[in-house]
A and B are shown apart, each in its own frame.
Chain A
């Protein structure tokens, strides 16, 4: 392959998608060709950019309530003749309740009943993450704190009262569930000081020093 052809393969090389012999050709060229090295560096830049601008922030965003909101919007848009306004003082929750002919409180209670029903095994619940007692309590009592005026404090997220997920990993992109080790020790640095940075699972072998003491500035 000539240099230009090699350049077309540099992306695939970096992506780990080349067969052994093609990979060897590209590597050989990369070792000596500055244009090819520059092309490789461009790909590095692209990846670093995507990592920083998109992947890192996306990993730390919680999409809680996303599905419920989508379903609520669909419910509203498929039953109301005129298009729903984009921004409305009424919460989605209220509109859903209005559409279903109930006041918001009944909707919340229904959600709580549903949550409780699942907790008690009334409905086939094998595929649902079982709510913890706290979740059921939260579902039952959260929004009902202001019964007189459903739109206040309950809006705008209808998921309250229906949220069944057990506490997620919180802001971390990863949460360690189980560790087994035969020798050395394991220390989990779950970034209490810098919540946006990734979790580190340390395996210390052959020394007694606490890794955190050493790695802090």
Chain B
């Protein structure tokens, strides 16, 4: 079944076509949920925030002028809502890891790599939700553009060409952004896992 492009559905939805908006939700809910699940600890939180994102998108539809792909816009909204949520829990007294652990030099010096703490080390035995909690922190420490290219590649499985289109950059930029994003994420992650 051929379907309309997201941008066409958005245009219809802005004009009040609820069916069009509904179609957007159906089409993108799995992806929104997966994105949220890469940052949030619990599955029901991820579902809630994914829904929050669509509600927010509905109110912001008129602002979507098509500067970026709809999926990129959706990703950003989901991701920002998730980050807000974990920052709130942080403020309420959760243990703050030493900020230095999230940066490159310290972990590199201590010799812990993601492979050493996760594949060969105790990280593998952690519960999925624990891993997600650490992932959330690690992703939060990334810049928006690093976080989005990383999640869209690793969680959504987009090819470099698809990423280039979605993010409106050259393929070479995708490769280099992804390289840096992965490096930062892995350093942060191995730092957090190492600390446990």
Show the binding face of A for B, using Cβ within 8 Å: 8-9, 11-12, 15, 17, 38, 41-50, 52-58, 61, 63, 66-67, 69-71, 73-74, 77-78, 127
- What residues of chain B have their CB less than 8 Å away from a CB belonging to chain A? 1, 18, 21-22, 25-26, 29-30, 33-34, 37-38, 43, 47, 50-51, 54-55, 58-59, 113-115, 118-119, 123, 128, 131-132, 135, 153-155, 159-160, 175-176, 178-179, 182, 185-186, 189
> Could you list 20 further interchain pairs (A-B, Cβ under 8 angstroms) beyond the known A49-B118, A70-B25, A70-B55?
A11-B175, A11-B178, A12-B160, A12-B175, A15-B160, A46-B114, A50-B154, A52-B131, A53-B38, A54-B38, A55-B34, A58-B34, A61-B47, A63-B33, A66-B29, A66-B47, A66-B50, A67-B22, A67-B29, A74-B55
B119 contacts A41, CB within 8 Å? yes
Which one, B21, B29, B43, B175, contacts A17 given CB within 8 A? B175
Q: Is the interface of A mostly helix, strand, loop or mixed?
A: helix
A67 and B30 alpha carbons, distance in the complex (Å) = 11
Q: List 27 A-B contacts (CB under 8 A).
A: A8-B179, A11-B175, A11-B178, A11-B179, A11-B182, A17-B160, A41-B115, A45-B115, A45-B186, A47-B154, A48-B118, A49-B118, A49-B131, A50-B38, A50-B154, A52-B131, A53-B38, A53-B128, A55-B34, A58-B33, A61-B33, A66-B29, A70-B55, A71-B22, A74-B55, A77-B59, A78-B59
Consensus secondary structure, chain B interface = helix
Q: How far is the CA of A127 from the CA of B26 in the complex (A)?
A: 14
A52 to B118, CA, bound (A): 11
Pairwise interchain contact B25-A66, C-beta atoms closer than 8 A: yes
